[in-house]
A and B are shown apart, each in its own frame.
Chain A
C-alpha cells in the first residue's frame, strides 16, 4: 500500500471509526452547545479543524525537543500553551473577518482551549508514539470527524425544532437521545478497515 493511500485511510479511520465525539465522548460541550444552528456549528467545526491540525503539527516536533532535554513530563503543560495560543489566534481571526460568527460562537470560542478533543488527540499521539505522518493523519481525521458529526447533529436539531416531540423531551433531552442514536449508527462502521501503519 502506498503511503498516500495509507494516509487517506488513516484519516478516514480516525474520522469515522474512532470518531472522538461519539466513541470517546470528547468535546461534548461544544457538540451540544453550538449545534442549534448549522452555520455556527460549521464555524465551530472549522475552528476546531484548524486548531487540532496546527496543534498536531507543532506538538510533534515539540515533543522531540522535550525528549532531547529529558523533560517528557512537561508535555501536557507545553501542549496546553500551544493550544491556548492557537485558540487566541483563531478568536482574533474570526472577530476580524466574521463578527456575526464571533457573536454566535460566543463563549464557546475561547472554550476550544479546554475542548478535550484537542488535548486528547495531541496527547494520544504522544502516548501511542505515532510517527509524524500518522499523527498528522490522526489530527486531521479526528478534527474532520468532529466537524462532520457536529454539522450532521445541528442539521437534525434544526429539523427537530419543527417536529412533534413529547413535551418532556423538548430541547436538550431529545438532542441527547439523538446523539446516542448517532453513536450507535457510527458503531456500525467499526471494522471497516483495520491495521493501518504509516
Chain B
C-alpha cells in the first residue's frame, strides 16, 4: 500500500511540475537561429569540450555568429561524417543579408 501511495504522489508531483515547466517553456520561449540546432546536430555531440567551448551547442553558436571559423577545433569530429555536411549546409543557408557563414577545415 505504501509503495502505491509513493508512486501515486510522486507521479502526481511530477505531472504538476512537468505541466508547469511546459507552460513556462512556452511563455518564456526565446527565438534563436534555427541553424544553430542544425549545426549542433551535425557535430559529434560528445560534448567533450576539447574545442574550448562549453559543449557542441556552444561551438555551433560560435560558428553561426562568425566567432569560430576553424572546424578542426572539434577534435573528435570526422571529415566525412561531420565537417563536410556542415560546410554543405552552411553553403545552402546563408545569413539574412546574403553573406555566407565563413568556415574552413
Contact = CB atoms under 8 A, between A and B. Distances in A.
Interface residues of B, number: 17
B105 interface: no
Given A92-B25, A92-B28, A71 B5 contact: yes
B9 to A, nearest CB: 6
Contact of A74 (B6, B14, B28, B29): B6
Interface of A is mostly: helix
A99 B14 CA distance: 28
A183 to B, nearest CB: 31
B48 interface: no
Interface string A102-142: 00001100000000000000000000000000000000000
Interface string B18-42: 1011001100111000000000000
Contact of A66 (B9, B18, B24, B30): B9
B33 to A, nearest CB: 13
Nearest to A99: B30
Interface in A61-82: 62, 65-66, 69-71, 74, 77-78, 81-82
B40 to A, nearest CB: 16
A92 B17 CA distance: 14
Interface in A133-171: none
Contacts of B14: 81
A89 B23 CA distance: 10
Nearest to A70: B2
Nearest to A97: B28
Contacts of B20: 85, 89
Given A70-B2, A74-B6, A107-B54, A81 B28 contact: no
A81 B13 contact: yes
B5 to A, nearest CB: 4
Contact of B5 (A69, A82, A85, A96): A69
B9 A93 contact: no
A78 B5 CA distance: 13
Contacts of B5: 69-71
B101 to A, nearest CB: 20
A190 interface: no
Given A78-B13, A106-B54, 4 more contacts: A78-B9, A92-B21, A92-B24, A93-B28
22 contacts: A62-B13, A69-B9, A70-B2, A71-B2, A71-B9, A74-B10, A78-B9, A78-B10, A81-B10, A81-B13, A82-B13, A82-B17, A85-B18, A88-B21, A92-B25, A92-B28, A95-B28, A95-B30, A96-B29, A96-B30, A99-B30, A107-B54
Minimum-distance CB pairs A-B, first 9:
A69-B5, A85-B17, A92-B28, A96-B28, A71-B6, A74-B6, A96-B30, A71-B2, A71-B5
